[in-house]
């Protein structure tokens, strides 16, 4: 059910410390996230069936695939509008990887600092700062921290330079320093995955 913010596909009980507020550009998203294009194919096919073969079966499948597409795009919109926006740094060019830092704490007990290394297919060069928006994953509301988080570069859904720069300006210099310090603690070559940080008075 929707909450007061219009959230339908995400957990409405949590609020990001720095909401993404990023506008989705459909053709930019389709360029980077091919699943969005693949989901359109059965919808279009079912519409053809409804018009040319069987109105009943084609109409029924059209409704089903329309709902699937609607939920997909609704989730993407909510991800980048309400997800947690974090700064990332390009740490490798071959393969292209970015590093993003966060605290997995749910806010009521301890500190669980981590850094996440994820693949990158954007235009940023080595050591360049980029914006991301992340969703968090957890198994129980009783645990003091999330299990993982999944940052996605904002350039995957928006190509407007002014809006991308606005995202970068939302990050404090302190947050960049924290990220850079955590990157220094990671051994090379960098590998994809979640890395727990044992320093910084962490609760790990």
- Beta strands at 113-119 and 129-137: parallel, antiparallel or unpaired: unpaired
Q: Please give the angle made by the CA atoms of 80, 38 and 31, to the nearest 5 degrees.
A: 50
What is the distance between the alpha carbons of residues 71 and 75, in angstroms, rounded to a whole number? 6
Q: Per-residue pLDDT tens for 26-39? A: 999 999 999 888 88
What is the distance between the alpha carbons of residues 133 and 139, in angstroms, rounded to a whole number? 21
Query: Does the pLDDT at position 108 exceed 90?
Result: no
Percent residues over pLDDT 90 in the chain? 66
pLDDT-derived band at 5 (thresholds 50, 70, 90) equals low
What is the distance between the alpha carbons of residues 40 and 63, in angstroms, rounded to a whole number? 12
What is the distance between the alpha carbons of residues 76 and 29, in angstroms, rounded to a whole number? 9
Residue 90: its pLDDT value, please? 98
pLDDT-derived band at 2 (thresholds 50, 70, 90) equals low
Q: Lowest-confidence range among 91-95, 109-113, 129-133?
A: 109-113
Q: Per-residue pLDDT tens for 50-107? A: 777 777 677 788 899 899 999 999 999 999 999 999 999 999 999 999 999 999 998 7
Query: Does the pLDDT at position 4 exceed 60?
Result: no
Our separate counts of H helices and E strands in the chain read: 5, 6
Classify the phi-psi angles of 106: left when phi > 0, otherwise alpha if psi is within -120 to 50, otherwise beta: alpha
């Amino acid at each position: 059910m929707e909450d007061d913010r219009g959230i339908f596909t995400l957990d409405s009980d949590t609020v990001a410390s720095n909401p993404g507020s990023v506008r989705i550009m459909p053709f930019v998203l389709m360029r980077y996230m091919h699943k969005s294009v693949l989901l359109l194919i059965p919808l279009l096919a079912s519409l053809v069936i409804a018009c040319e073969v069987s109105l009943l079966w084609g109409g029924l499948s059209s409704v089903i695939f329309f709902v699937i597409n609607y939920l997909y795009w609704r989730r993407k919109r909510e991800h980048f509008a309400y997800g947690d926006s974090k700064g990332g740094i390009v740490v490798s060019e071959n393969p292209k990887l970015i590093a993003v830092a966060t605290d997995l704490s749910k806010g009521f007990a301890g500190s669980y600092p981590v850094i996440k290394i994820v693949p990158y297919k954007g235009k940023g060069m080595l050591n360049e700062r980029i914006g991301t928006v992340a969703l968090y994953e957890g198994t129980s509301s009783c645990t003091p921290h999330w299990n993982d988080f999944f940052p996605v570069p904002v350039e995957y859904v928006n190509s407007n330079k002014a809006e991308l720069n606005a995202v970068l300006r939302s990050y404090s210099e302190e947050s960049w320093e924290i990220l850079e310090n955590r990157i220094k603690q990671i051994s090379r070559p960098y590998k994809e995955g979640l890395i727990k940080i044992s320093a910084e008075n962490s609760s790990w």
